Structures are given as C-alpha cells and as structure tokens.
Amino acid sequence: MKLKFLVLVAAGAVFAAGAVSAQDVDTFVKNKCLICHDVEKKKMGAPFKESSAKYAANANAVAELLPKLKDGKDGHPKVAGSDEELKAALGKALSYK
C-alpha cells in the first residue's frame, strides 16, 4: 500500500507541474505505448501490470526508464515525445496494479 501511495504521489507531482494533463497522458499512452504494450497481455513489450509489479519497489523507476524510451536504449525502441510526456506515460504504465 505504501508503494502504491508513492507511485500515486509521483504521478501527482507530474500532473501538478501542469506539464501534461491526465487526459493528454491517456491519449499519449494510447497512441504511443499501446501500439507495443497492453495493460494485461504480452504484446511486443511486457504487459504494464507486469512492469508495474517489477518496479513496485523502485521509487526511481520513471527516472531510470526515461532514457531507455527517450534515446532507444537497453533494448527499448525510441519513443518520440517530450520528457514530460514520456515521464507521465511511464508513471501511468507503472500505476496499473
């Protein structure tokens, strides 16, 4: 529960910064992430629920994953978007339980 709280706080911080609205995040995730990912099932990439469980204990998960998506590193294809959009999308992806 405490970890879930931390994830929500982290996501809240992103939204509070006013960079990307919750609706924009949903659209971004739908257009840019769900091409290769699904929340429940394995597609080209891992299901978001699985990644969320994998990174549940890692408070720096979003910061650590950002360069992978941004620059296309460590086996992750490069995803176009601003840092704010990618961070918000990662926060969303890791919020699925």
Question: Where on the chain is the footprint of ligand HEC (CB under 6 A)?
Answer: 32-33, 35-37, 44-46, 51, 54, 65, 68-69, 74-77, 79, 86, 89-90, 93
Single-letter amino acid, residue 17 = A
Positive or negative CA dihedral for 13, 17, 23, 25?
negative
Distance of alpha carbon 74 from alpha carbon 72, whole angstroms: 7
Cα maximum dimension of the chain:
33
In this complex, which beta carbon is closest to ligand HEC, that of residue 17 or of residue 73?
Answer: 73
Give min distance, CB of 15 to ligand HEC, in A: 16
* Closer residue to ligand HEC, CB minimum distance, 1 or 44: 44
Instruction: Work out how close the CB of 26 gets to ligand HEC at its nearest, in angstroms, rounded to a whole number.
Output: 12
What the block records as the tokens of 11 is 């996501």
